[in-house]
Amino acid sequence: MDIINFYCGDFIMLFDKFFNRNTSKPDSRTPWNPSNIEPYTNTYDLIHLSKFDNHYINDCIKDANQYPRKLRALKLAECADTTIYAPRYILNRYITIKYELSNKPFDYLAVAIAYKNLGSLERQNAITYFEKYLNCLNHLNTNSYVFTTKHAFSDFYIYRNLSDLYEHEYELNKAYDLRLKIIELHNGTIDFSDVISIGNILRKIDINKCVSFYEQYINLPKLQGYRKELDKAYQDALIKQSKGYVYKPRPKPPDEHHLYCQRMEIKGTMKFIIRHIFS
């Protein structure tokens, strides 16, 4: 055992040297933030995690591992989804690395949520895994554990987030269809957020449909508390309609900062995994 520990220690030391020495510091702007910050980039230093962050991530994984295998990824995703600071990025990346090759339904869902939390560079991956999860539901028995297990991610959460992902990736008709499903979940009841979300999507699909949609709901009695915001959205749509507005997607290539952060997430998570294995 001593020999194993000796060689594992050597391996981790070499790994640390490969990623350079720690030059990070705690975030002095927010004294309650325990995560290390890179001095020159103002991003979380995910390669040199603070002691607090390491303990927190370890505790999340230990808690998830107390559940049966089929629930572990989902329980870890519940933790990661509400986590802030540096551990948020490590936990979500950990989920994608560990579970993305699994074909278990809740692993699909956990990986989808993790990719969603990792930002714009991972949107397409998030969409892929949300779709895998929703598709697999059609092939399960109604008494499957997937339908009987209580968890934090309701149908509303899934549809709303997937709709947002579709919209950001210019799959506007899919985004619109999911917004209608959200209304179905609420027994046909539409609220202010539904009107604004659907209006924004329709503005990009067809400005005439957008105007007609606002005209249908702007005088709804239950929405009069938001009349000022609805009027603003409606007037904006009318102005665009008068100018013959046609939405033109303008996808932006990822900038170097986002790519740098993605590389750090992967390196930091792999370093954590290696430490986790050999500790």
Digit-coded pLDDT (tens) for 69-126: 999 999 999 999 999 999 999 999 999 999 999 999 999 999 999 999 999 999 999 9
Confidence of residue 155 (pLDDT cuts 50, 70, 90): very high
Tell whether the model's pLDDT for residue 229 goes beyond 70.
yes
Three-state secondary structure along the chain?
A: CHHHHHHHHHHHHHHHHHCCCCCCEECCCCCCCCCEECCCCCCECCCCCCHHHHHHHHHHHHHHHCCCHHHHHHHHHHHHHCCCCHHHHHHHHHHHHHHCCCCCHHHHHHHHHHHHHCCHHHHHHHHHHHHHHHHHHCCCCCCCHHHHCCCCCCHHHHHHHHHHHHHHCCCHHHHHHHHHHHHHHCCCCCCHHHHHHHHHHHHHHCHHHHHHHHHHHCCCHHHHHHHHHHHHHHHHHHHHHHCCCCCCCCCCCCCHHHHHHHHHHHHHHHHHHHHHHHC
Which pLDDT does position 277 carry in this prediction? Answer: 65
Q: What's the pTM? A: 0.85
pLDDT of residue 177: 97
11, pLDDT greater than 50: no
What pLDDT band is residue 32 in, cutting at 50, 70 and 90? low
